[in-house]
Structure 1
Amino acid sequence: MINQIYRLVSPRQFEVTYKDKSIITEDVIIRPTHLSICAADQRYYTGTRGEQAMKQKLPMALIHEGVGEVVYDPKGIIKPGTKVVMVPNTPFEKDPVIAENYLRTSKFRSSGFDGFMQDYVFLNRDRLVTLPEDIDMDIAAFTELVTITVHSLTRFESKAHDRRTTFGVWGDGNLGFITCLFLKKLYPNSKVIIFGKTDYKMNQFSFVDDAIKIDSIPSNIKIDHAVECAGGKGSQYAVEQIIEHINPEGTICLLGVSEYPIEINTRMVLEKGLTLLGSSRSGTKDFARTVDIYKEFPEVVSYLSTLIGQTYDIKKINDITAAFEDDLSNSWGKTIMRWKI
């Protein structure tokens, strides 16, 4: 069969390419239905990813957050029409210690090889997780982003001490929202505080125990553990404040991506005996746990609907460009592309 792939060939320019794919394969064939635009996709789209990276990785189909429906399973195990979330991480080896998303040999869609902007996606069956039949697919589209929080909290659970009275989350964006939400569900007896800088964003965090502006944190505020979701240059200021307000032997989960090195007060890290726990991306186990949480706490899915910023029906290549351009000015939530091309 001829598969159409919609690749970014240069900043702000998409082109259709055609690839002959055999259906005589072990792969499950998925028709993408809903795709979500990520900040990483935008860095490629706008050409701000860096000249060297752009030369190495383009042309490339974008998007690593997406869901779809099964078209064909060569083993006949998964019925056509089954709703699934697609796992963008693709490992090529197994390690008894290192998780699949940290193996240097693993590839990640829309970061080195083609993402989900295709007519059909061919996936190993361990790269998909079945979704509840009644789930809102606009919300499910950004499940990959949710799995980043789930992966980080899974690592936290195995490495942090058991005193979990108060959590602090720095960053009032999408990831901060998801992290606060999941902390409240997974640790219902703990206090969760969001530390942010934008009033209208912080107003969305209706489920947290407290919301504090980062320019007016009371000196007596203390937390047991923290999650940094600020990213960029803001990561440095977030980590600085966390180190000041975290209790000794607390764990700092680092999730915000910074393009440049940041300064960290290692003297106080040492004095307090802190653990800095970095987490990146996720694997199939994290997707499975996320879907299980969707099923156990359906109200979580309802809260996640707050993150839907804009939706676009994609019927032609110009619609893709329009969605990416409008997403650049979207200050809250996720832009969802309903993939009808």
Structure 2
Amino acid sequence: MINIVYRLKSPKFFEESIDEIELDGVVVRPTFLSICQADQRYYQGSRPAEILDKKLPMALIHEGIGEVVFDGESNFKSGDKVVMIPNTPCGEDVCRANYSYSSKFRGSGFDGFTSDLIKLEADRVVKLPDDFNDYVSAFIELITVAYQGITKFEDIAITPKSRLGVWGDGNLGFITALLLKEIYPESKVIVFGKHQDNLNLFSFADEIYRIHDVAKDVVIDHGFECVGSSASQSAIEQIIDLINPQGTINLFGVSEYPIPINTRMVLEKGLTIQGNSRSEREDFEGVVRLLEKNPQLFDYLEKLITNICEINSLNDLKEAFDKDSISKFGKTILKWNK
């Protein structure tokens, strides 16, 4: 089957290429995609030159849903709405596939979802209820990253979970705080951020603080860092300062630069630091169950959508990335008409 793939050839320049898809596995037609900051770093050319030379040309986007076109094993029916899993295990490993060096990740190690058709193995596809909001479903992958980290946190936390602090008022901070409040309804969820306009959207949080205006008596049991970049340093410093002994610090933010950490206080308080990245099938299934049981979450998550762009051409795709790059908050959703 002939397939057209829309790849980033160099920063800010997309090109079409014709590939062929063999009819095995599950073939999905993308319908709604979502731009991630990692996609923007490739598009803007802000990754190191040697990385760009190695990975481009490449189709971007690793967040998205689609409709099943073909399934050789008949696990899915034609027209089924599914979420696509970008992490692709390549062999057995002792660790989770999303942390394995042998796994490949779409839109990073190989082509993402900007094509007419996507071929996936059956375990890289999870069926969605027909009544799920398509625009929110487009970024289920991002929700699974927060869900995966919270699941791991549950495994390592040995002290009370009465006061959970989330640093970061962006997309991931919003999602992480929302899931924490849903999963631990008896806990206080406290959000620390820099932008008051963003913080005002965290209506479900028990307390919100601007990072430079925190009450002196504020303490937390566990911290979740969702800041990233060089700002991670000040966020981690503040978490270490406010956290109770033997708490956990759960890192989500990505930085291109080394971040210093006050190990003296980490040792003194007996803290556990855990890194979180990407997700796996069980996380997608968990998020789908969570959204099915708690449909009110869609109302909150819909607040993250700042741009909806219909994509009928390469120029539309470029304009969507340009529009997303000037958005200070929220998600850009691509209605994929290709």
Q: What residue is the counterpart of 1:16 in the other structure?
A: 16
**Aligned residue identity for 2:11:** P
**Aligned residue identity for 2:247:** G
Q: Which of 289, 292, 310 is the aligned partner of 1:313?
A: 310
**Aligned residue identity for 2:53:** K
Q: Does 1:87 align with 2:85?
A: yes
Q: What residue is the counterpart of 1:334 in the other structure?
A: 331
Q: How does 1:116-127 map to 2 (within 5 A)?
A: 116-127=113-124
SS of the residue corresponding to residue 54 of structure 2 reads: helix
Normalising by structure 1, we get a TM-score of 0.98
Distance 1:173 1:226 in 2: 16
Distance 1:208 1:331 in 2: 21
SS of the residue corresponding to residue 81 of structure 1 reads: coil
Normalising by structure 2, we get a TM-score of 0.99
**Aligned residue identity for 1:58:** L
CA offset at residue 219 of structure 1? 2.2
Q: What residue is the counterpart of 1:104 in the other structure?
A: 101
Q: What residue is the counterpart of 1:203 in the other structure?
A: 200
SS of the residue corresponding to residue 298 of structure 1 reads: coil
Distance 1:11 1:174 in 2: 24
Q: What residue is the counterpart of 2:60 in the other structure?
A: 62
CA offset at residue 218 of structure 1? 1.8
Q: How does 1:1-341 map to 2 (within 5 A)?
A: 1-23=1-23, 25=24, 27-95=25-93, 97-341=94-338
Distance 1:120 1:302 in 2: 30
CA offset at residue 162 of structure 1? 4.5
Q: Deviations over 1:109-128 (max 9, x none)?
A: 00020000010000000001
Distance 1:170 1:163 in 2: 19
Distance 1:242 1:123 in 2: 40
**Aligned residue identity for 2:51:** A
Q: Deviations over 1:12-66 (max 9, x none)?
A: 000000012221x2x1000000000000000000111110000000000000000
Distance 2:59 2:130 in 1: 28
**Aligned residue identity for 1:139:** V
Distance 1:22 1:255 in 2: 37
**Aligned residue identity for 1:74:** G
5+ residue gaps, structure 2, are none
Give % identity: 51
Check whether the contact 2:159–2:246 (CA below 8 A) recurs between aligned residues: no
Distance 1:34 1:301 in 2: 16
Check whether the contact 2:168–2:192 (CA below 8 A) recurs between aligned residues: yes
Distance 1:114 1:271 in 2: 45
